[in-house]
Amino acid sequence: MPHSPALAPRAPADPAQVDAALALWAASRPALPLGVAVSGGADSTALLLACAARWPGQVVALHVHHGLQDAADGFERHCARLCARLKVPLRVQRVNARHAPGDSPEATARARRYEALAAMAQESPAADGLPPVQTIALAQHADDQVETVLLALSRGAGLPGLAAMPAHWRRGRLAYARPLLGVPGAALRAWLQARGEDWVDDPSNASPRFTRNRIRSMLLPALEAALPAFRTTFARSATHAAQAQQVLAEVASQDLAACGVPPAVARIQAFSRPRQANLLRHWLSSTHGATPSNAQLTELLDQIAACTTRGHRLHLKVGRGFVQRQGDSLAWIAPA
The pLDDT of residue 98: 65
Q: Residue 264 forms beta bridges with which residues?
A: 329
Task: Output the pLDDT for position 125.
Answer: 60
Supply the pLDDT for residue 1: 38
Over residues 126-185, the pLDDT tens digits come to: 567 778 899 999 999 999 999 999 999 998 899 999 999 999 999 989 999 999 999 999
- CA pair distance 117, 119, nearest whole angstrom: 5
Instruction: Find residue 93's DSSP bridge partners.
Output: 64
- Look at the domain 16-233 and name its fold: Rossmann fold (3.40.50)
Question: What pLDDT is stored for residue 265 in this prediction?
Answer: 96
The amino acid at 28? S
CB 136 within 8 A of CB 177: yes
* pLDDT confidence of residue 68: 61
133 near 60, Cβ under 8 Å?
yes
- Put the strands of the sheet holding 168-171 in their side by side order: 90-94, 59-65, 34-37, 135-137, 174-177, 168-171
Indicate the residue type of 51. C
Residues of the chain with CATH 1.20.59: 260-333
Separation CA 237–CA 296 (nearest Å): 28
29 CB-contact burial (10 Å; exposed 0-12 / middle 13-18 / buried 19+): exposed
How would you write the pLDDT of the chain (336 residues) with one tens digit per residue? 333 344 444 556 899 999 999 999 999 999 999 999 999 999 999 999 999 999 999 999 999 987 666 677 888 999 999 999 999 999 999 887 665 555 556 667 788 889 999 999 987 665 677 788 999 999 999 999 999 999 999 988 999 999 999 999 999 899 999 999 999 999 999 999 999 999 998 777 777 888 888 999 899 999 999 999 999 999 999 999 999 999 999 999 999 999 999 999 999 999 999 999 999 999 999 999 888 989 999 999 999 999 988 888 899 999 889 999 999 999 999 887
**What's the pTM value of the predicted model, to 2 decimals?**
0.85
The CATH 3.40.50.620 domain(s) of the chain lie at 16-233
Where does 260-333 sit in CATH, by number? 1.20.59
Q: Which amino acid is at 328?
A: D
Tell me how far the alpha carbon of residue 145 is from its chain's centroid. Answer: 9
CA atoms within a 13 Å half-sphere pointing along the CA-CB vector of 149 = 22
Identify whether the C-beta of residue 119 lies closer than 8 Å to the C-beta of residue 111.
no
The pLDDT of residue 131 is 82
The three-state (H, E, C) secondary structure of the chain, written as one string: CCCCCCCCCCCCCCCHHHHHHHHHHHHCCCCCCEEEECCCCHHHHHHHHHHHHHCCCCEEEEEEECCCCCCHHHHHHHHHHHHHHHCCCEEEEECCCCCCCCCCHHHHHHHHHHHHHHHHHCCCCCCCCCCCCCEEECCCCHHHHHHHHHHHHHCCCCHHHHCCCCCEEEECCEEEECCCCCCCHHHHHHHHHHCCCCCCCCHHHHCCCCHHHHHHHHHHHHHHHHCCCHHHHHHHHHHHHHHHHHHHHHHHHHHHHHHCCCCEHHHHHCCCHHHHHHHHHHHHHHHHCCCCCHHHHHHHHHHHHHCCCCCCCCEEEECCEEEEEECCEEEEECCC
Q: List, edge to edge, every strand of the sheet that includes 329-333.
A: 315-318, 321-326, 329-333
Query: In one letter, which amino acid is 45?
Result: T
